[in-house]
Amino acid sequence: MNRKGFTLIELLAVIVILAIIALIATPVILNIINDARANAKQRSAELVYTGVQYAYVSAMYSGIEGAYVTRPTLKDIQTYFNVDNVNKENVKLDKEDTPTMLKITTDDGAYCEVTVDNGLQVACYSSTKTSSAKHYFTKNIETDIESNTGD
């Protein structure tokens, strides 16, 4: 008798082998996806920092070629990022309505606080949930710009 095809045992063996491969591959693929998301958030935070640097330098030179005009304030950064005073969650003001802290959140959830403690500082985190947020970095804009320009 000439039979064509596979037996039930052979088909079950192939299915079991494929299931084992899927069980091994799934956690690896999920780790790769989670790492990519975490790296994307950190890059977003670094882009916010670069944006704050750019806003600082733009305000510092105020369009006058090569002339140092004024030391930029957090208000200049607030204007650059179009952060509104109305949202008290994202802007903390002093008695003169001058911003003392800005919160900038990216689309993927990375979160940066720009403050005026000891100069203009940027602290970036993985999320707004402080208990579970990973701290990426805290940098001083003025010190960083001066060290990069050699002044």
One-character DSSP codes across 100-128: EEEEEE-TTS-EEEEE-TTSSEEEEES-S
Structure tokens at 124: 């970036």
Closest by alpha carbon to 40, among 107, 104, 103, 90?
107
The model's pLDDT over 30-68, given as tens digits with 9 standing for 90+, comes to 999 999 988 898 898 888 888 888 887 777 776 555 555
In angstroms, the CA 42 to CA 107 distance is 12
In angstroms, the CA 6 to CA 4 distance is 7
Which pLDDT belongs to residue 26? 95
In angstroms, the CA 42 to CA 144 distance is 19
Q: Where are the domains of the chain?
A: 8-149
The model's pLDDT over 67-100, given as tens digits with 9 standing for 90+, comes to 555 666 777 777 777 776 656 677 887 777 777 8
